[in-house]
Every structure is written in structure tokens, then in C-alpha cells.
């Protein structure tokens, strides 16, 4: 079996078996539950209000998935270094490329778990509304690119900074900056600066695509520009992570 | 030679860290690599393992360049590094199986248990590593280093955290590997007792430079004309003929202070004394052993 | 398009003040629900209305714009609805409607919210001084629960609970 796959398997185990990984998942699902329970009192939403809720849940899953990816990524190399488990890994016949691929595989597992945990919430709030299947498909597409991008970025920082605290802090600041459209709302995003920020921000691209597809029922052909931004983010961060681990110093 | 390092120099962050390290090992040697904290022992190991490219000098491990052929070398050496962490949520056997899988080797449950038993970790192989004591982790680290049945074993402070019984058990494992399998073992340690019990060869590093290297017996013989021992001997019933090379310097009650000339073999001398009817109840080496050798070597360097 | 329609209407109102000289048009509009519409529609269903714009005059009608308007007529909640959310077919234009010519227009829409609604189609021509409206068509949209609390509760409580149970099971298994 490929060592990268072997490392990815360990990383996945760390999420599902290790107490800390499960505690993180628990905390994230509690947030999702609170958001969903807020809707219980108002079951007579218009279709658009309902779509708005589905959109919000999609945005929240993406944001929380990115947060989880950032935590995993910041710990991926610097955490191993601090716990002394990086050196034994470097002393095996595994190459740095295989290490980074395995770590990326771990990120993908984390997001897959998060995505699968988010699906019941989407179903619960959106099954009587519109565009639920599109919501599920677009969350898989845009969510994966955006969330893994955040994870890869944190992974690159983790290899570069040698300290979990520094890597985590830098990643979280980036996450807050890029995820701010979720908090700012549409009106603030209409300014010239907001529009420019939106155009280049992978998080905004995902949110705008969710809005377009779920609320406005617009087709895939209108999402290609947004997809390009998310894809560019994914590729750039993957390159940064690979380069970071390859050039990592002891 | 399984390790040959000549005039190794390394610069880190613009600062010279290694300024001429020499280290030569053959298969079956147990090499004690000594030196004060910060002398560069762990850094030398990282160069030897191909994790840092040297600035200059010759470095060959198993006849190959460790930087250019790192993967090839890592398949054939085992390293217990100073920073030897584990995934604490994994059970020991599970961890060994996972670690073995990294090198493409499938380790079965039975073999994992066997390997853990070899380092004295039987019975707790299903408990998470996080619940292990420091000494148990050290044993697990050794089991990990031995996973690929290495030709060269590099151990950084291998008996750290072990109780006297544990140290003895680890010593036995290492001796068996060296004698039976011809594995070369490089041990970085502060414990001169480990070196005294195990090592055939010795290298002392000070401020990034090898200040002394050679076989333990040779170094001791070269430095001291006579090794000094303290023997507890209840009053002998008759006069004793001392073997050649053995001289009683003084007596104090039951304690005899004995000098053994540099060329003499202590074991043969004690056997001869016992055969002559002398009851020797205790033997202690006095000054003039490894400790003095080490202090003298490192002090000389400090003075420079 | 709806805004363009409103703008045209406003422009027409401004210019029609004291414009007794403007020619009056000869357009007629009908509006009927499509026969395939569900008899008792509810949120999420699709309705279609058909209208026919006919030039009953003797001269061609130039630059005809027809648009659909939707008004909620529930007591106390009377308000014009933003068609943006209901339909992408909000207006049609015809460069020329010749005398005697009939133009049939379909107005599909998706029912977004429950309530009582009234729909009307209006039309103007470039040189006419009045707006022509169709008869009203009324319809009722039944409620449909869009958020089902009996789905949310099990999910919102079950998933974190399941993870907690997994954590507990792991701890028990390990110990």
C-alpha cells in the first residue's frame, strides 16, 4: 500500500478515533444543531425564505468545515514536530511528497466526515423547499474546493512555522478574513471594495454560487467564473502545502 | 565500514555547528558517542541519517551518501531519535503495524506482539500509547527502530527513563543483536555506565569536534599505564601469588586497592586470582576509567 | 423587466398629463388561467396564465409592451408582490401589432408563498395615451410547511448525541 495512503489512513483514524477529533466534530455539529433548532418555531417560511435557510446552512457547513480543516492543517506538521512524532516519520523511507499527500488525504477525510454530517441538516431544513439536490451537489463541489484550500493553506503554514500556535493563529486570521462575507451580508458586499473582494475570494465564490443555485435557481453555466476562483484557490494552496513540506527544515 | 565520517562540517543559520567530526564503525561494533549537551551529537545523527546535507567532509553510511540515497539508507537503518514521539491514541501493537506499513511491510498481529515482547512490552500492547510511562515509550521507540531489522541501529539516549532492570534488559537486546546478527549500534548517551557495559568503541565530541575516537580498551590502555580496582577480599588463609601485571597498591581492612597494567586483561586476572584460592566478593573500578577519560577529553577541549 | 415596465408606466403618466391630443389605442387584453393549472394549488406548484393581446383598431399599434402584475389581496396584507421571485416572464414587447392581429402570451409562475392573489396583465403602446388592462384572475395558494420540525429535532439532537455516544464507546472500549 502506498505510504501516502497509509498516512491518510492514520490521519482519518485520528479524526474518528482520537478523543480530540471527535470533540471537534461534536462542537461543530452542536453549532449546526443550534442553527437548525432556531427554525423549529417557524415552519411556514416562504419557499425563498426556506431556500435562504438552506443557503445559510450550506454556508455554515462550509465555514465550519474550513475551520476544522484549518485546525487539522495547522497541527499536521507543526503538531507532529512538537509532539516529537515528525522525526520518526522523516527517518522512514517515506518521501516528503508522500507525507504531504497523506496529510492532504487526511484533510479530505476530515471534510468528507464534516460533509456527511452536514447532509442530514440540509435534508432537515430543505427537503420541503426547493433545489435540495442542487444544494447537496454544489456543496460537494464548491465546499470541497474551498474547505480543502483552507486546510492546505494551514498545512503549508504548519510546515513553515514549526509552531502550532503560530500556524493556527495565522490560518484563523486568514479564515476569518475570507469567511467574513458570511457575516457581512449582501449590502456591505455591494460596495466597490466589497465587489472586488468578492470576486477574488474563494469563500465568496462559493456563497454566491450557493445563492445563485439554491435561491435563484440559476444554472451551472452561470457558476463557471465562481468555480474558476474556487479551483484556483484549491490549486494554489495545494502547491503551497507541497512546497512547504518539501522545503521543511528540521 | 558501515559508517564513515571524516572531517564533517555543518553550518546552521550562519553558525558553524559541526567543526570536524570523525566517526568510523564496522558491522558488529557498539559505538558510544559521547559529549556534553549541545556538543553536536544529535546533529551528527541527523546528518548521518541524511536529514541535513553537510557543508563539507565525507559522510558514508552503508557505503552510500545519506543525502543522495536517503530512502535506500532509511530502509536499512533504525533510528531511535532524541525526539521520539508517538500517536498517543494508538495502541502499541497498532502503532507498530502502522509504522511498518509505511515501509510497505505488513506486520501481523502475532509478529507485532513478538516484537513488543522482545523489548519487554508484552501484556500492554492493546493499551493506548498515551497511557505508557516514559520508560515504556522508550522501549516502544526501540521496537520501532528495530522494525526493519536494521544493519545499523542509531540510538539517542536509549535508556533514558528506564529503571535499572529495564536498562539491563535493553542492554541484553542490544548485545544480542550486535553479537548474533552483526548489527552495528551507535549509541548517543550521557550514561557512562551504558558505554562501559556495551560499547566496543568510543567517540567523544566537544563543541562540534571529535576529540577522541577509538576502541574503548585501546583508549583506556593508551591513557593509563594501569587501571585501578577496589577488591573486597576477606582475609586470605595463605599467601597469594599475584598474576603478572597485577599489583596491590594498598590494603584497608577487607579492601584491596589493586593496579592492573594497561596490557592486562582484567577478566583473566580475576580468574587467575580466584583459581589461586583467593575469595573475591566485590570488584569496583576506581578512577582511571571512562569517566576520567571523558572528563579529560572534554576539559581539554573546553580549555582550547 | 418589471422595473422597466413600471418606468414606462411612470413616463407615460408624466407625459399624459394635459396630453389630450395623444391618440387613444385600440388594444384589448384577455387573461385566463391555463386549463392545466392545478385546481387547488399550493406553494411550489406552477401556474400558467394565458392572455391574448388584440388590436381592434384600424391602424397598427407600434411598440407594444405588456406586463403582468401580482397583488396579494389577503385582508390586512394587501401588497404588490415582487415578481422577481415568482417568475422570469414578467413582460413582453411587440414592435407592431397590426389591425386585427392577435398575440397570445403565456405567463408561467411558481407559487412562492401562501395566500390570496390577484393577477392582471397591462399593456401600453408607444403613442397611446392610456394603459389597457386585462380582467383580473384570482387564485389562492395553499400553505405547505417548508420546515418540518419533526425532521429537524431528530437530526439536531441525534447527530451530536451520536458523536457523544461514539466518544463514550471509544473511551469504554479503550479502558
Chain segment A235-249, per-residue pLDDT in tens: 999 999 999 999 887
- pLDDT, mean over chain A: 89
Q: Which of C146, C150, C154, C173 to probe the A interface (max A CBs under 10 A)?
A: C146
B102 and A94 within 8 Å at the Cβ level: the answer is: yes
The grid cell for A13 is 483514524
Q: How far apart are CA A149 and CA A156, in angstroms?
A: 11
B87 and A7 within 8 Å at the Cβ level: the answer is: no
- Give the model's pLDDT for residue C18: 33
Min distance C65 CA to chain A CA atoms (Å): 25
Residues of A in contact with C42 (CB under 8 A): none
Q: What is the ipTM of this complex?
A: 0.85
Three-class secondary structure of residue B107 per DSSP: coil
Q: For chain B (length 304 residues), average pLDDT per consecutive 10?
A: 94 92 93 91 93 94 94 93 86 93 89 91 83 89 93 90 85 88 91 86 92 85 71 78 82 84 74 84 76 77 48
The grid cell for A109 is 477525510
- Give the model's pLDDT for residue B222: 67
Q: Give yes or no for residue C98 having a pLDDT over 70.
A: yes
Q: Which of A21, A88, A99 to probe the B interface (max B CBs under 10 A)?
A: A88
| Residue B71: closest C-alpha in chain A | A93
Q: Give yes or no for residue C33 having a pLDDT over 60.
A: yes
Percent of chain C with pLDDT over 90: 57
HEC readout, B38-80: CCCHHHHHHHHCCCCCCCEEEEEECCECCCCCHHHHHCCEEEE
Residues of A in contact with B84 (CB under 8 A): 84, 87-88
* Chain B neighbors (3+ CB pairs < 8 Å): A
Residues of B in contact with A88 (CB under 8 A): 79, 81, 84-85, 99, 141, 144
| C162, C171 contact by CB (below 8 A) | no
Average pLDDT over residues C49-73: 93
Min distance C166 CA to chain A CA atoms (Å): 8
| Residue C147: closest C-alpha in chain A | A43
Residues of C in contact with A129 (CB under 8 A): 146
| Residue A4: closest C-alpha in chain B | B102
Residue A247 burial (CB < 10 Å; 0-12/13-18/19+)?
Answer: exposed
A116 touches chain C (CB under 8 A): no
Interface A-B, measured as beta-carbon pairs within 8 A, has a size of 66
Three-class secondary structure of residue B257 per DSSP: strand
Q: Both ends of chain B: CA-CA distance in Å?
A: 31
A124 touches chain C (CB under 8 A): yes
**CA-based radius of gyration for chain B:** 22
User: In A, what residues contact B, Cβ < 8 A?
Assistant: 1, 3, 6-7, 9-10, 13-14, 17-19, 80, 83-95, 250
- pLDDT, mean over chain C: 84
B102 and A83 within 8 Å at the Cβ level: the answer is: no
- Give the model's pLDDT for residue B37: 86
Residues of A in contact with B52 (CB under 8 A): 250
Q: Which of B75, B83, B85 sits opposite A93 (nearest CB)?
A: B75
Average pLDDT over residues A115-124: 94
B85 and A84 within 8 Å at the Cβ level: the answer is: yes
Min distance C156 CA to chain A CA atoms (Å): 4
pTM for the complete prediction? 0.76
C112 and A30 within 8 Å at the Cβ level: the answer is: no
- Give the model's pLDDT for residue A126: 85
Q: Give yes or no for residue A95 having a pLDDT over 50.
A: yes
3-state helix, strand, coil in chain A (%, to 5): 85, 0, 15
- Give the model's pLDDT for residue B267: 80
C134: CB partners within 8 A, 6+ apart: C29, C30, C31, C51, C120, C121, C122
- Give the model's pLDDT for residue C14: 39
B51 and A91 within 8 Å at the Cβ level: the answer is: yes
| Residue A26: closest C-alpha in chain C | C160
- Give the model's pLDDT for residue C16: 39
C145 and A117 within 8 Å at the Cβ level: the answer is: no
Q: Give yes or no for residue C21 having a pLDDT over 60.
A: no
Average pLDDT over residues A97-121: 95
C148 and A128 within 8 Å at the Cβ level: the answer is: yes
A22 and C163 within 8 Å at the Cβ level: the answer is: yes
Q: How many C-beta neighbours within 10 Å does residue A156 have? A: 27
A22 and C160 within 8 Å at the Cβ level: the answer is: no
| C38, C45 contact by CB (below 8 A) | yes
Q: Give yes or no for residue A188 having a pLDDT over 60.
A: yes
Average pLDDT over residues C152-169: 92
* Chain A neighbors (3+ CB pairs < 8 Å): B, C
User: Between B80 and A192, where is the model more confident?
Assistant: B80
HEC readout, A168-228: HHHHHHHHHHHHHHHHHHHHHCCCHHHHHHHHHCHHHHHHHHHHHHHHCCCCHHHHHHHHH
| A158, A152 contact by CB (below 8 A) | no
A88 and B84 within 8 Å at the Cβ level: the answer is: yes
Q: Give yes or no for residue C102 having a pLDDT over 90.
A: yes
The grid cell for A185 is 451580508
The grid cell for C58 is 384600424
Q: Give yes or no for residue C7 having a pLDDT over 60.
A: no
**Dihedral pair phi/psi, residue B214, rounded to 5°:** 160, -170
User: Which residue intervals of chain B are DSSP H helices?
Assistant: 41-48, 70-74, 92-102, 109-118, 134-145, 164-181, 192-198, 216-223, 266-275, 290-303
Three-class secondary structure of residue C142 per DSSP: strand
Q: Give yes or no for residue A189 having a pLDDT over 80.
A: no
Weakest mean pLDDT among B130-144, B159-173, C14-28, C74-88: C14-28
| Residue C114: closest C-alpha in chain A | A46
Amino acid at each position: 500500500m502506498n505510504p501516502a495512503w497509509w498516512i491518510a489512513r492514520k490521519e482519518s483514524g485520528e479524526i474518528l478515533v482520537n478523543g480530540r477529533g471527535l470533540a471537534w466534530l461534536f462542537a461543530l455539529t452542536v453549532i449546526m444543531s443550534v442553527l437548525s433548532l432556531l427554525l423549529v418555531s417557524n415552519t411556514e417560511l416562504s419557499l425563498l425564505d426556506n431556500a435562504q435557510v438552506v443557503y445559510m446552512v450550506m454556508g455554515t457547513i462550509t465555514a465550519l468545515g474550513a475551520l476544522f480543516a484549518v485546525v487539522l492543517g495547522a497541527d499536521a506538521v507543526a503538531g507532529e514536530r512538537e509532539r516529537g512524532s515528525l522525526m520518526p516519520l522523516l527517518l522512514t523511507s517515506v518521501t516528503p511528497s508522500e507525507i504531504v499527500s497523506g496529510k492532504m488525504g487526511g484533510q479530505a477525510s476530515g471534510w468528507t466526515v464534516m460533509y456527511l454530517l452536514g447532509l442530514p441538516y440540509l435534508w432537515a431544513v430543505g427537503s420541503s423547499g426547493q433545489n435540495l439536490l442542487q444544494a447537496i451537489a454544489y456543496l460537494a463541489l464548491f465546499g470541497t474546493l474551498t474547505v480543502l484550500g483552507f486546510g492546505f493553506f494551514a498545512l503549508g503554514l504548519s510546515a513553515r512555522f514549526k509552531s502550532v500556535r503560530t500556524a493556527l493563529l495565522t490560518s484563523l486570521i486568514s479564515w476569518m478574513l475570507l469567511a467574513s462575507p458570511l457575516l457581512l451580508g449582501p449590502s456591505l458586499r455591494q460596495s466597490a471594495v466589497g465587489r472586488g473582494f468578492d470576486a477574488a475570494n474563494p469563500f465568496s465564490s462559493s456563497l454566491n454560487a450557493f445563492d445563485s443555485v439554491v435561491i435563484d435557481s440559476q444554472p451551472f453555466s452561470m457558476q463557471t467564473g465562481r468555480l474558476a476562483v474556487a479551483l484556483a484557490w484549491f490549486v494554489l494552496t495545494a502547491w503551497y502545502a507541497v512546497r512547504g513540506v518539501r522545503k521543511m527544515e528540521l | 565500514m558501515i559508517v564513515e565520517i571524516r572531517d564533517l562540517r555543518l553550518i546552521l543559520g550562519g553558525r558553524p555547528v559541526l567543526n570536524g567530526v570523525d566517526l568510523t564503525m564496522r558491522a558488529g561494533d557498539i559505538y558510544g558517542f559521547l559529549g556534553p549537551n549541545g556538543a553536536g551529537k544529535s546533529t551528527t545523527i541527523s546528518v548521518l541519517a541524511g536529514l541535513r546535507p553537510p557543508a563539507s567532509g565525507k559522510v558514508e553510511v552503508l557505503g552510500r551518501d545519506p543525502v543522495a540515497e536517503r530512502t535506500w539508507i532509511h530502509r536499512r537503518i533504525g533510528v531511535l531519535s532524541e525526539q521520539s514521539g508517538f500517536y498517543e491514541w494508538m495502541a502499541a501493537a497498532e502503532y507498530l503495524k502502522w509504522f511498518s506499513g509505511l515501509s510497505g511491510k505488513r506486520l501481523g498481529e502475532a509478529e507485532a506482539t513478538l516484537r513488543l515482547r522482545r523489548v519487554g512490552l508484552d501484556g500492554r500492547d492493546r493499551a493506548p500509547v498515551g497511557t505508557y510511562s516514559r520508560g515504556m515509550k522508550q522501549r516502544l521507540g526501540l521496537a520501532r527502530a528495530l522494525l526493519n531489522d536494521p544493519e545499523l541501529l542509531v540510538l539517542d539516549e536509549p535508556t533514558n527513563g528506564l529503571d535499572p532492570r529495564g536498562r539491563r534488559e535493553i542492554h541484553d537486546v542490544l548485545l544480542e543483536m550486535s553479537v548474533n546478527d552483526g548489527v552495528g549500534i551507535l549509541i548517543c548517551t550521557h550514561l557512562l555506565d551504558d558505554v562501559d557495559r556495551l560499547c566496543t568503541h568510543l567517540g567523544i565530541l566537544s563543541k562540534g569536534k571529535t576529540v577522541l575516537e577509538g576502541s574503548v580498551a585501546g583508549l583506556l590502555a593508551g591513557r593509563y599505564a594501569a587501571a585501578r580496582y577496589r577488591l573486597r577480599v576477606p582475609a586470605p588463609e595463605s599467601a597469594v601469588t599475584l598474576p603478572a601485571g597485577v599489583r596491590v597498591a594498598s590494603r584497608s581492612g577487607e579492601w584491596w586497592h589493586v593496579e592492573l597494567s594497561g596490557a592486562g586483561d582484567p577478566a583473566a586476572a580475576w580468574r587467575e586470582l580466584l583459581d589461586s584460592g583467593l575469595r573475591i566478593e566485590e570488584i569496583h573500578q576506581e578512577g582511571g576509567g571512562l569517566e576520567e577519560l571523558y572528563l579529560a577529553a572534554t576539559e581539554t577541549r573546553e580549555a582550547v | 423587466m418589471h422595473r422597466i415596465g413600471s418606468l414606462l408606466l411612470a413616463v407615460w403618466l408624466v407625459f399624459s398629463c394635459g396630453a389630450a391630443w395623444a391618440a387613444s389605442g385600440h388594444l384589448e387584453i384577455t387573461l385566463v388561467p391555463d386549463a392545466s393549472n392545478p385546481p387547488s394549488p399550493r406553494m411550489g406548484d406552477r401556474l400558467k396564465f394565458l392572455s391574448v393581446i388584440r388590436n381592434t383598431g384600424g391602424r397598427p399599434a407600434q411598440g407594444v409592451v405588456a406586463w403582468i402584475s401580482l397583488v396579494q389581496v389577503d385582508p390586512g396584507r394587501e401588497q404588490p408582490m415582487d415578481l422577481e421571485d415568482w417568475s422570469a416572464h414578467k413582460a413582453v414587447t411587440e414592435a407592431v401589432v397590426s389591425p386585427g392581429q392577435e398575440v397570445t402570451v403565456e405567463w408561467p409562475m411558481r407559487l412562492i408563498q401562501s395566500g390570496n392573489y390577484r393577477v392582471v396583465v397591462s399593456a401600453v403602446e408607444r403613442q397611446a395615451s392610456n394603459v389597457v388592462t386585462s380582467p383580473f384572475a384570482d387564485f389562492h395558494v395553499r400553505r405547505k410547511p417548508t420546515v418540518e420540525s419533526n425532521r429537524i429535532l431528530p437530526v439536531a439532537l441525534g447527530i451530536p448525541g451520536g458523536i457523544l455516544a461514539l466518544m463514550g464507546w471509544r473511551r469504554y472500549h479503550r479502558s
